[in-house]
Structure 1
Amino acid sequence: MISTTDIESLIAAALPGAKVQVQDPNRDGQHFNAIVIAEQFSGLTTIKQHRLVNDALKAYLDSGAIHALQLKTYSPEQWQNFSVQIS
């Protein structure tokens, strides 16, 4: 079973400097939610941003260790605009 800490570490290793928060809302070790803020996402579509994260977790996604991963990805600029809107 993979932990939220393991997932955070794998994403951070693939996207140096990224801010990563992962939750296991069902507490089942298979269904996760993640927010990733990374400079590498600048100028990329959401699909391309998600692919970068999924590539970091490919072995766990392919093996079924991670059954579901809900992603919210942002460049730092997107995150700043998002957080201003919800304030």
Structure 2
Amino acid sequence: MVTKDEIKYWIESNLIGSSAEVSGDDGAHFHASVVYDGFNGISMLKQHRMVYNALGDKMQSMIHALSLTTKVKDD
């Protein structure tokens, strides 16, 4: 079972300098709010893809559902 702390670690480890807050305690459904300067000037769709890419194959094998909120630190 995946924990929110693991998801937070995976995101922050792959998007260096990001800050992630993850909620959800059922081991399957999560929400992540990710703040990252690297999102500056990038569409929301591409921001979400960056987070999904940071999670890699875990999105297919370990995480059932993840909703996202993304923003640049200064927003």
The match for 1:51 is: 49
Unaligned segments of structure 2, at least 5 residues: none
Secondary structure of the corresponding residue to residue 29 of structure 1: coil
Q: Measure how far apart 1:56 and its partner are.
A: 1.2
CA offset digits 1:29-85 (Å, max 9, x no partner): 01000100001100000000000100111211111x21110100001122xxxxxxx
CA distance in 2, matches of 1:18, 1:57: 13
Moved over 2 A (4+): none
Given the two structures, how large is their TM-score scaled by the length of structure 1?
0.81
Secondary structure of the corresponding residue to residue 35 of structure 1: strand
Aligned positions, number: 75
Name the structure, 1 or 2, with higher relative contact order (CA <8 Å, separation 6+).
Answer: 2
Matched residues, percent identical?
Answer: 37
Given the two structures, how large is their TM-score scaled by the length of structure 2?
0.93
Unaligned segments of structure 1, at least 5 residues: 79-87
